[in-house]
């Protein structure tokens, strides 16, 4: 009995009491989200700080990062301490590499140490897609290493989650400035762009006025729209190449389609400098969710 107790005490001394009694959900995203949510709340509540400190001690990467931000900025119950912030960010990055972005920011700003662009660039690289904008900016400007415009474009494009997000805009800026896409990048660009167009078309056409007009006829309505894009614009010229047979339905569909725009995110085109998309659409009066059913979508050639 005494030997068992001695071993338990020794284990406690090595690992820390908290690790023995930490809750099963200590490293869940829900706990991390709560740390993020309560940290900036005003007026300051000491219980919030204790919660963040407790779960940072348990080993939740997000809570460690949040606690580090509190020390980095000062206030909310702690005194500004760059050394403590740096130590917490290092611990968080060991648990979640994306947290390296926080170390990169400290190195870039020179917080607690001299500005070091080389270290910042490396931390941003380690952080992955979450620091794509920072890493790409360093590569564009030649900070902390050689200027690398093709590399910056690749970093941005790899981080794009959907057309027209921040990574897309950074990539598209380089592309429009003359930085070419390779074959694989062009394929990904087209896929992202076309997905965005289809979703936007569905959203813009799913309006009450269209379905009220369709429902008034009591019949399924088929139309085919043509979208012509130029190589420098995401704003199409829209025409109806096959009407539904009902002027009111067609009028409302065209009004809705006129709102479809991808701004300055233009499609990739061939040597003609144009891209035409023919979209056969089916609208059913029984569709209570007000969503147009897109049968298929074709490129320059007419659908078979």
pLDDT mean over 76-90: 96
- Here the tokens at position 279 are 């979209």
- Here the tokens at position 21 are 């009694």
How many angstroms separate the CA atoms of 105 and 199, rounded? Answer: 36
pLDDT at 229 over 80: yes
Write the CB contacts of 208 (distance below 8 Å, at least 6 apart in sequence): 290
CB 144 within 8 A of CB 119: yes
CB 64 within 8 A of CB 88: yes
Q: Give the pLDDT score at 253.
A: 96
pLDDT class for 12, splitting at 50, 70, 90? very low
Q: 190-205, pLDDT tens digit by residue?
A: 999 999 999 999 999 9
pLDDT mean over 264-279: 95
Q: Give the pLDDT score at 4.
A: 47
Q: Give the pLDDT score at 19.
A: 52
pLDDT at 6 over 60: no
Query: Is residue 181 classed as helix, strand or coil in its secondary structure?
Result: coil
Q: Give the pLDDT score at 22.
A: 80
pLDDT at 47 over 90: yes
Q: Give the pLDDT score at 20.
A: 54
High-pLDDT (> 70) share of the chain, %:
87
Neighbours of 55 (CB within 10 A): 26
pLDDT at 158 over 80: yes
> Domains of the chain (ranges plus CATH)?
13-184 (1.25.40.10), 197-294 (3.30.1150)
CB 78 within 8 A of CB 91: no
* pTM to 2 decimal places: 0.82
Neighbours of 290 (CB within 10 A): 15
Inter-helix orientation angle 132-141/149-159, to 10°: 170
pLDDT mean over 109-127: 97
pLDDT class for 53, splitting at 50, 70, 90? very high
pLDDT at 66 over 70: yes
Write the CB contacts of 82 (distance below 8 Å, at least 6 apart in sequence): 71, 72, 106, 111, 112, 113
For 169, counting Cβ atoms within 10 Å of its Cβ (0-12 exposed, 13-18 middle, 19+ buried), the class is: middle
pLDDT at 294 over 90: no
Q: What is the mean pLDDT of the chain?
A: 89
pLDDT class for 300, splitting at 50, 70, 90? very low
CB 250 within 8 A of CB 181: no
CA 174 to each of CA 140, 179, 232: distance values in angstroms, whole numbers, following the listed order? 9, 6, 14
DSSP string, 122-142: HHHHHHGGGGHHHHHHHHHHT
Q: Give the pLDDT score at 293.
A: 44
pLDDT at 9 over 50: no
pLDDT mean over 135-164: 97
Looking at 170-304, which runs of residues are DSSP E strands?
221-230, 237-242, 274-283, 293-294
How many angstroms separate the CA atoms of 161 and 175, rounded? Answer: 17
pLDDT at 5 over 80: no
């Amino acid at each position: 009995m005494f030997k068992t107790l001695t071993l338990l005490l020794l284990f406690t001394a090595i690992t820390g009491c908290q690790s023995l009694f930490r809750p099963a959900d200590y490293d869940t995203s829900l706990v991390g989200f709560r740390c993020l949510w309560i940290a900036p709340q005003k007026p300051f509540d000491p219980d919030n700080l204790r919660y963040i400190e407790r779960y940072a001690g348990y080993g939740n990467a997000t809570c460690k990062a949040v606690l580090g931000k509190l020390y980095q900025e000062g206030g909310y119950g702690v005194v500004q301490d760059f050394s403590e912030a740096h130590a917490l960010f290092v611990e968080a990055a060991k648990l979640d590499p994306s947290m390296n972005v926080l170390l990169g920011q400290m190195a870039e700003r020179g917080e607690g140490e001299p500005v070091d662009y080389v270290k910042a660039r490396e931390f941003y690289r380690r952080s992955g897609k979450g620091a794509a904008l920072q890493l790409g900016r360093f590569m564009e400007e030649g900070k902390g290493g050689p200027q690398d415009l093709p590399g910056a474009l690749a970093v941005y494009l790899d981080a794009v989650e959907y057309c027209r997000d921040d990574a897309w805009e950074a990539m598209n800026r380089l592309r429009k400035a003359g930085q070419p896409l390779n074959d694989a990048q062009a394929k990904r660009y087209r896929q992202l762009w076309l997905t965005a167009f289809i979703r936007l078309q569905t959203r813009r056409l799913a309006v009450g006025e269209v379905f009220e007009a369709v429902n008034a006829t009591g019949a399924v309505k088929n139309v085919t729209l043509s979208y012509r894009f130029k190589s420098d614009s995401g704003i199409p010229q829209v025409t109806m190449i096959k009407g539904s047979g009902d002027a009111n339905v067609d009028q409302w569909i065209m009004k809705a389609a006129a709102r479809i725009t991808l701004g300055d995110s233009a499609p990739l085109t061939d040597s003609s400098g144009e891209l035409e998309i023919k979209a056969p659409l089916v609208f059913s009066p029984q569709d209570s969710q007000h969503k147009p059913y897109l049968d298929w979508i074709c490129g320059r050639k007419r659908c078979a």
